[in-house]
Amino acid sequence: MTTSHYIAGRWVEGQGGDCISVNDPALGQPFAELMAASAAQVDQAVAAARAALPAWKATSASERAGYLRGFAEQLGQRREALISVQMRNNGKPRHEAEIDLDDAIATFNYYAELAAQLPSKNREVPLAAPGFTARTRLEPVGVVGLIVPWNFPLVTSAWKLAPALAAGCTVVLKPSEVTPLVEQAYGQIADALGLPAGVLNIVNGKAETGAALSNHTGLDKLSFTGSNSVGSQVMRSASAQCRPVTLELGGKSAIVVFDDCDVDQAVEWIVAGITWNAGQMCSATSRLLVQDGIADALLPRLQAALENLRVGNPLTEQVDMGPLTSQAQWLKVASYFATAREEGLQCLAGGRALDRDGWFVSPTLYADVPNDSRLWTEEIFGPVLCARRFATEEQAIAEANDSRFGLVATVCSADLARAERVADALEVGHVWINSVQAVFVETSWGGTKGSGIGRELGPWGLSAYQSVKHVTRCLG
């Protein structure tokens, strides 16, 4: 796989100095490799997007909508191949890989519909002053750089690519070096649809490639999803150019369980919130706040549920949870297990790496974790759940909000008025009530505090790639 970069409508070989090994995390072994793009190739990709911009933004909204529907249809036609890649390169169980693909398809279809409605969004603006008229134009922001992570490839790129194309932007997409394969489908689809050359460009590489893209003066906007440490670097790059940036960063989210909950239902919601994608989610509800009256009944059942999860290779076994996606992440999670032992935390389940090939860890539960523990305050990005008890609603809200992050939260209560009240009080971007983490393309995604800047999905995702222009005319 040497022709791994899609630039100006052509597949080209990487000319960078890095060879990227693509691994099967269930085996801990590489199964493909590709050469990274050089800085010169990043320049070529940005130049191609810049050259394609005038014609692309001049296309009709209905024409852009047609291309987006084509992306959705083509993703569906590649269904089995894309699911297989997600399972092999990410270690996702089949049911998770299927949902990822369905999410990407739904995203392209949704923004196709919004694109088709764009002409109606240009409107006259009533003015109080006589003798003038004014109208609003929504224009594409321009050439955008999209940098996406390894935990939800295909999905996160769809969340960015679909609204950017719908708005009339041209793009340079940089996938994660950990999971570069599945995004190649977008270049293949662009070829199949006859998307004009330069509208979509894909460059692969490691941190150097990402830095070359985020520092590039030819971009009009950056959109990044990933860690806070890299996000701060992307933000510095954007600030040097005084250009807009969307950042979807980390989380240390709370799930609040009140004592009027059905215990078994609560356990289902808790387990899903910490073990989906092996806990490798910025939205993982890794802080469990459980009310005193239900804690003694819930924690043993939660312990049993985590211990009974089937963990293994999704390509050869029926599993509930696969491996961690990279060796680096496996080592990071293992370091937190060591920290937990040093801190003397009470481990009810897991707390160890599994003795088998690949990068597997056990679903883990720690009880009565102090709120100054590193495991309570830091994002681990693995299936590691920390539990604390609370007495009152006010205490639960205060402890849930006591975090430098503010991405999501879950509230579990049979008292719906209370659940809604608590949801309104939580300092986060998205709250689920009595639910698993169901994410719909019509809703917004993004957080407060250290969890990022801006919103994706819904109409907010489209507006992130639009610039507002007013035209005012004197009638005299």
Are 162 and 199 spatial neighbours (Cβ–Cβ below 8 Å)?
Answer: no
| 96, 183, 248, 456: the active-site residue | 248
Q: CA–CA distance from 161 to each of 154, 171, 228, 449, 451 (Å)? A: 10, 8, 22, 25, 21
- pLDDT at residue 122, rounded to an integer: 81
- pLDDT at residue 4, rounded to an integer: 87
pLDDT in tens, 277-333: 999 999 999 999 999 999 999 999 999 999 999 999 999 999 999 999 999 999 999
Strands 143-147 and 170-174: parallel
pLDDT in tens, 400-441: 999 999 999 999 999 999 999 999 999 999 999 999 999 999
Nearest CA to 442 among 176, 14, 113?
A: 113
Maximum Cα–Cα distance across the chain: 82
pLDDT band at 113 (very low <50, low <70, confident <90, very high): very high
| 96, 177, 261, 282: the active-site residue | 282
Are 7 and 44 spatial neighbours (Cβ–Cβ below 8 Å)?
Answer: yes
- pLDDT at residue 136, rounded to an integer: 93
pLDDT band at 37 (very low <50, low <70, confident <90, very high): very high
- State which H helix or E strand residue 268 sits in: helix 263-275
pLDDT band at 219 (very low <50, low <70, confident <90, very high): very high
Strands 10-12 and 5-7: antiparallel
- pLDDT at residue 341, rounded to an integer: 98
**What mean pLDDT value characterizes the chain?**
96
Q: What percent of the chain has pLDDT over 70?
A: 99
Q: How far is Cα 159 from Cα 170, in angstroms, rounded to an integer?
A: 15
Are 202 and 147 spatial neighbours (Cβ–Cβ below 8 Å)?
Answer: no
Using the predicted structure, report yes or no on whether residue 248 has a pLDDT greater than 90: yes
Print burial letters for 40-68: b (CB count within 10 Å at least 16), e (below 16): ebbbbbbbbbbebbeebbebebeebbebb
- pLDDT at residue 120, rounded to an integer: 75
Q: How far is Cα 95 from Cα 329, in angstroms, rounded to an integer?
A: 22
298 HSE (CA, 13 A, CB side): 29
31: Cβ contacts below 8 Å, ≥ 6 apart: 22, 23, 24, 88
pLDDT in tens, 354-385: 999 999 999 999 999 999 999 999 999 999 99
pLDDT band at 476 (very low <50, low <70, confident <90, very high): confident
Kindly tell me the number of DSSP H helices and DSSP E strands found in the chain.
Answer: 15, 22
Is 474 in the active site? no
- pLDDT at residue 17, rounded to an integer: 86
Average pLDDT over residues 334-342: 98
Query: What are the backbone dihedrals phi and psi of residue 187, each rounded to the nearest 5 degrees, phi first?
Result: -70, -40
- pLDDT at residue 119, rounded to an integer: 81
- Residue with token string 């990709």: 45
Strand partners, 94: none
Query: What are the backbone dihedrals phi and psi of residue 379, each rounded to the nearest 5 degrees, phi first?
Result: -75, 120
Task: State the helix-helix crossing angle for 39-58 and 207-214, rounded to 10 degrees.
Answer: 50
Q: How far is Cα 166 from Cα 173, in angstroms, rounded to an integer?
A: 15
pLDDT band at 393 (very low <50, low <70, confident <90, very high): very high
- State which H helix or E strand residue 138 sits in: strand 132-140
To the nearest 10°, the Cα dihedral for 139, 111, 452, 325?
A: -140
Using the predicted structure, report yes or no on whether residue 31 has a pLDDT greater than 90: yes
pLDDT band at 3 (very low <50, low <70, confident <90, very high): low
Average pLDDT over residues 182-198: 97
- Pinpoint the alpha helices (H) of 59-134: 61-77, 79-85, 94-116
Q: What is the pTM of this model?
A: 0.96
pLDDT band at 69 (very low <50, low <70, confident <90, very high): very high
Strand partners, 30: 23
- pLDDT at residue 402, rounded to an integer: 98
Using the predicted structure, report yes or no on whether residue 1 has a pLDDT greater than 60: no
Domains and CATH numbers, the chain: 5-249+451-474 (3.40.605.10), 254-440 (3.40.309.10)
Is 248 in the active site? yes
